[in-house]
Amino acid sequence: MTSVLNLTAAPVSSTLDFSRSRTLQPRAHTLIPGGAHTYAKGDDQFPEQAPGFIVRGKGCHVWDLDGNEFIEYGMGLRSVTLGHAYEPVVEAAYRQMQLGANFNRPAAIEVELAEAMLEIIDGADMVKFAKNGSDVTTAAVKLARAYTGRDLIAICRDQPFFSTDDWFIGTTAMNAGIPRAITEMTLKFGYNDLHSLRELFDRHPGQIACVLFEAEAITPPAPNFLYQVKQLCEQNGSVLIFDEMITGFRWHLGGAQKFHGVVPHLSTFGKALGNGFAIAALMGKRDIMRLGGLDHDQPRVFLLSTTHGAETHALAASLKTLRIYREEPVIDSLWTQGERLRAGIEESLARHRIAKHFELAGRPCNLIYRTKDRDGTPSQAFRTLFLQELIRGRVLAPSFVVSFSHTDEDVDRTIEVVDRALNVYARSLEDGVDKYLVGCPVKPVNRTYA
């Protein structure tokens, strides 16, 4: 083994040096398609001048292979809500691990976590756990198809991601290997566009099993939109599914369904459910969920049955995480720190007079940014430049999604770094982005060709 594969970080350095990362990157690409196990973490998603590998994290800070320290946002694709290596959660998982990770019969903690989840998501009657969000959205689709005896499904065309499985990825530009017959069963409607959903029901009467979407992603729902979608589903005998992978435990402890006061028939959770541990949940009404059980005379649905689905330490981590959400002001803090960040960045945008070219969007608990060029056209080159300049200031922020560990000091430091990055951004709008950008622009994840 070469020294670079000894994956401890180099001593903390005062200047940014990525030499260890640069050595490991080609090896990663030789061994792993895409060089990473999640496309959103890939080299094509970050500037050339970026850390290649993270070695450890604590709170909202991470250290890369070269010993560089960064304030991180988004953290584990929004899964780490409390903070990296958050001690009470790590301890709960560790204690459970010492009792054994997996048995031939269910672990008692499965029931304990089910009770905790159902207390929080009060519109649901039953829950089934899994490891990934994709598994539970796919399970929701299968269950809805079995419950209704229909094949077609409707998903929202304006929201970026629901699952790694064929029924969704087949509808993206990265659909190689997916039979057209599967993709043709997925129909699309527009967010806040009730008319487009009504049209689908009219065109395919009695054939749509479910309507699946995020109750809110970046754009808030128009007044009554969610309620009217539910009505439309019920009038047409279709199952309403909310994907709460991002909204769950961010918008509100009870999810977007509680925040907006519309209870779906099924909903899916993941990400924030385990503070980075692998856990997801399908929840919903008993008369639908029970088709995955043993107490009915309908054809049985093979609902989420995997070897590692109830790995005990992930359940213990989740139980502890949920307890912390209930006992500490976690969600309030996501909103207030996100708001503090938004206000600081907006002030900076006004100072640099570039508000037309850089947009903050989303709720404070889920803040993202959009970059635009001189003409106001969305620009990946400007996104890359902004990321590059943030990294120069030791902030790693593909989004501005905060955690409970982001302190006032972290946020204020970030605002200073953003201000400097926006200064370069403003100059690039004048002089051309190529003058300041090192390497190639980032690319969308779901594209047809590399």
Q: Which residue ranges make up the site for ligand PLP (CB under 6 A)?
A: 77, 132-134, 137, 161-164, 214, 243, 245-246, 270
Copy the structure tokens of residue 179.
């039979």
* HSE value, Cβ hemisphere, 13 Å, CA-based, for 51: 28
Phi, psi of 136, deg, nearest 5: -80, -35
Q: Is there a contact between 239 and 233 (Cβ–Cβ < 8 Å)?
A: yes
Shortest gap between Cβ of 112 and ligand PLP (angstroms)?
Answer: 23
Instruction: Please tell me the total number of residues recorded for the chain in this structure.
Output: 450
CA distance 135 to 56: 27
Shortest gap between Cβ of 365 and ligand PLP (angstroms)?
Answer: 15
Closer to ligand PLP by Cβ: residue 271 or 340: 271
Shortest gap between Cβ of 388 and ligand PLP (angstroms)?
Answer: 24
Closer to ligand PLP by Cβ: residue 64 or 214: 214
Closer to ligand PLP by Cβ: residue 132 or 405: 132
Q: Is there a contact between 418 and 410 (Cβ–Cβ < 8 Å)?
A: no
Shortest gap between Cβ of 367 and ligand PLP (angstroms)?
Answer: 15
Copy the structure tokens of residue 150.
């229909």
Going by C-alpha positions, the residue among 4, 45, 7, 10 that lies closest to residue 26 is: 4
Phi, psi of 185, deg, nearest 5: -85, -5
Sequence-separated (6 or more) residues with CB below 8 Å from residue 266: 140, 143, 144, 210, 239, 240, 241, 242, 282, 283, 284, 285, 288, 289
Q: Is there a contact between 445 and 46 (Cβ–Cβ < 8 Å)?
A: no
DSSP per-residue string spanning 217-229: SSSPPPTTHHHHH
Sequence-separated (6 or more) residues with CB below 8 Å from residue 445: 39, 40, 42, 45, 174
Shortest gap between Cβ of 79 and ligand PLP (angstroms)?
Answer: 8
Shortest gap between Cβ of 329 and ligand PLP (angstroms)?
Answer: 25
Closer to ligand PLP by Cβ: residue 49 or 164: 164
Return the residue nearest ligand PLP (CB atom). Answer: 133
SS3 for 179?
coil
Shortest gap between Cβ of 144 and ligand PLP (angstroms)?
Answer: 16
Closer to ligand PLP by Cβ: residue 126 or 212: 212
Copy the structure tokens of residue 218.
């970046």
Sequence-separated (6 or more) residues with CB below 8 Å from residue 261: none
Closer to ligand PLP by Cβ: residue 214 or 389: 214
Closer to ligand PLP by Cβ: residue 367 or 415: 367
SS3 for 39?
helix
Closer to ligand PLP by Cβ: residue 241 or 437: 241
Closer to ligand PLP by Cβ: residue 36 or 418: 36
Angle at 249 between CA 244 and CA 255, to 5 degrees: 50
Widest distance between CA atoms in the chain: 70
Q: Helix H segments across 121-158?
A: 133-148
Shortest gap between Cβ of 134 and ligand PLP (angstroms)?
Answer: 3
Q: Which residue has the tokens 């970080």?
A: 9
Shortest gap between Cβ of 40 and ligand PLP (angstroms)?
Answer: 7
Shortest gap between Cβ of 253 and ligand PLP (angstroms)?
Answer: 18
Closer to ligand PLP by Cβ: residue 137 or 186: 137
SS3 for 368?
strand
Q: Which residue has the tokens 């129909």?
A: 187
Number of neighbouring beta carbons within 10 Å of residue 402: 29
CA distance 258 to 335: 16
Shortest gap between Cβ of 11 and ligand PLP (angstroms)?
Answer: 34
Closer to ligand PLP by Cβ: residue 61 or 78: 78
